[in-house]
Amino acid sequence: MRRRVSVKPGKGPSALGFVVGLAFVVIGVTVVIPSAGLFGLLWTGVAIAICVMHGINLFSKKGISTHELIVDDADRSVEQRLEQVRALYEQGLITQAEYEEKRKELLDQL
């Protein structure tokens, strides 16, 4: 079974992104806006967005995901997966036919 896992940057990359974002905001306000007008506003807006995103990742526990991974549960042994399917059957969450089908499918992987 495949599942998606969202990943956020660690504290180190978030701190670096936050500092760089702040530097770009300062450059935007002091240099780019006065000399480039609308482009300066765009520059500064993007810099603020970068700074906010990395600040949230740096200062909060939840944070904002920047990557998504697809994890294949095939790393678990066939025995563990058979036990899980058996538990689902015993709890009445799957039918006997579904249990037998999945059990056969897992045993074919051996």
Mean pLDDT value across the chain? 90
pTM for the whole structure: 0.61
Tell me, what amino acid is at 53?
M
The count of C-alpha atoms lying within 13 angstroms of the C-alpha of 109, restricted to the half-sphere facing its C-beta, is 13
Which pLDDT tens digit goes with each residue over 22-32? Answer: 999 999 999 99
- State yes or no: pLDDT of 108 exceeds 90: no
Q: Has residue 73 got a pLDDT over 70?
A: no
For position 1, what pLDDT does the model report? Answer: 62
Q: How far is CA 15 from the centre of its chain?
A: 18
Proportion of the chain above pLDDT 90, given as a percent: 64
